[in-house]
């Protein structure tokens, strides 16, 4: 039985969707605030998440961001009518689809079916090996190569590349990268992320003629599969 988590603070909508999904044969868990939603989402075990964006506690976008650090579980965002920015940032953060409220339940059910059908587990060449565009990173052996040619990286360059590859297709803000690679208590130049992206580009993009790391103006960086 496929299991769906719905995080929605409007009780009426949450109950209605739960009822309909149960009727369709899905197992359903429900959270009505962001914190509980994040807790359940992080426990995992779901085949799909339905995330409302405006939630008390933690927003749906933030839940999505945290879940995407370690999981590629399918996510459909529930957005208010005409909240274009929400849709854009949701999709940027790695949501699979969104549906605008109020919605017809048939449409939601159809989108759930399509999203579940299209979902393919993340690409993995071997345990602990991340790859994109011919660049491979072997975390266990601390090795990076491009087209099979070894690339020498410092520990911080390696950690930055690893974080970007782990979050492939997700735009990572400078702050998120800073927290992930340098730690929350980092004090120093805030443009350190840009400096290290430049190092990585010199050693990989420019040297091997690949476009691995893309800049998202005003936001941060992303490693994207073509
Ligand atoms: Ca809401």
Domain containing residue 57: CATH number: 3.40.50.2300
Instruction: Determine the straight-line distance between the first and last CA of the chain, rounded to whole angstroms.
Output: 33
C-alpha–C-alpha distance, residues 124 and 129, integer Å: 7
How remote is the CA of residue 15 from the centroid of ligand 1, in Å?
Answer: 13
Cis? peptide before 91, omega within 30° of 0: no
How remote is the CA of residue 218 from the centroid of ligand 1, in Å?
Answer: 27
Q: Which of 65, 83, 118 is the last residue of a domain?
A: 118
Contacts of 92 (CB under 8 A, 6+ apart): 170, 171, 216, 219
The first and second tokens of residue 34, run together, are 């962001």
What CATH number is associated with residue 166? 1.10.10.10
How remote is the CA of residue 19 from the centroid of ligand 1, in Å?
Answer: 18
- Domain presence at residue 86: yes
How remote is the CA of residue 29 from the centroid of ligand 1, in Å?
Answer: 17
How remote is the CA of residue 54 from the centroid of ligand 1, in Å?
Answer: 4
Residue with tokens 């964006």: 53
Same domain, 151 and 72: no
pLDDT at 13: 94
pLDDT at 182: 86
Number of independent structural domains in the chain: 2
How remote is the CA of residue 87 from the centroid of ligand 1, in Å?
Answer: 14
How remote is the CA of residue 13 from the centroid of ligand 1, in Å?
Answer: 10
Q: Which of 76, 96, 118 is the last residue of a domain?
A: 118
Same domain, 111 and 133: no
pLDDT at 74: 93
Give strand ranges (E) for 53-206: 75-80, 97-101, 129-132, 135-138, 143-146, 149-151, 172-173
Same domain, 10 and 100: yes
How remote is the CA of residue 176 from the centroid of ligand 1, in Å?
Answer: 25
Q: Which residues surround ligand 1, an ion (CB under 5 A)?
A: 9, 52, 54
Q: Which of 118, 147, 172 is the last residue of a domain?
A: 118
Same domain, 187 and 88: no
Instruction: Please state the pTM of the whole predicted model.
Output: 0.55
The pLDDT profile of the chain, 226 residues, written as one tens digit per residue, is 899 999 999 999 999 999 999 999 999 999 999 999 999 999 989 999 999 999 999 999 999 999 988 888 999 999 876 666 666 677 777 888 888 888 999 999 999 998 998 886 554 445 678 999 999 998 878 899 998 899 999 989 999 999 999 999 999 999 889 888 888 677 777 689 999 999 999 999 999 999 999 999 988 999 998 7
H or E stretch covering 52: strand 48-52
C-alpha–C-alpha distance, residues 144 and 37, integer Å: 37
DSSP conformation letters of 106-133: HHHHHHHHHHHHH--PPP-SBTTEEEET
How remote is the CA of residue 145 from the centroid of ligand 1, in Å?
Answer: 45
- Domain presence at residue 124: no
Q: Which domain does 7 fall in, by range? A: 3-118
Same domain, 106 and 146: no
Same domain, 89 and 179: no
How remote is the CA of residue 202 from the centroid of ligand 1, in Å?
Answer: 45
How remote is the CA of residue 37 from the centroid of ligand 1, in Å?
Answer: 12
Same domain, 13 and 57: yes
C-alpha–C-alpha distance, residues 11 and 19, integer Å: 12
CA–centroid distance for 220 within its chain: 14
> How many residues can be counted in the chain?
226
């Amino acid at each position: 039985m496929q299991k769906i988590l719905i995080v929605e603070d409007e009780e009426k909508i949450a109950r209605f969707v739960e009822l309909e999904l149960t009727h369709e044969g899905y197992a359903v868990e429900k959270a009505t605030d962001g914190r509980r939603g994040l807790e359940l989402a992080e426990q995992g075990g779901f085949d799909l998440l339905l995330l409302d964006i405006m939630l008390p506690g933690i927003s749906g976008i933030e839940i999505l961001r945290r879940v995407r650090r370690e999981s590629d579980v399918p996510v459909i965002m529930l957005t208010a009518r005409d909240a274009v920015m929400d849709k854009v940032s949701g999709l940027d953060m790695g949501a699979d689809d969104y549906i605008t409220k109020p919605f017809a339940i048939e449409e939601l059910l159809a989108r759930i079916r399509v999203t579940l059908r299209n979902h393919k587990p993340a690409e993995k060449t071997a345990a602990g090996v991340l790859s994109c565009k011919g660049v491979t990173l072997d975390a266990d052996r601390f090795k990076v190569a491009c087209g099979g040619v070894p690339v020498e990286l410092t520990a911080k360059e390696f950690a930055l590349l690893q974080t970007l590859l782990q979050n492939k297709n997700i735009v990572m803000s400078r702050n998120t990268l800073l927290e992930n690679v340098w730690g929350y208590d980092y004090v120093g130049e805030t443009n350190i992320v840009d400096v290290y992206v430049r190092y990585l580009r010199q050693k990989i993009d420019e040297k091997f003629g690949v476009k691995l790391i893309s800049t998202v103006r005003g936001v941060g960086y992303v490693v994207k599969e073509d």
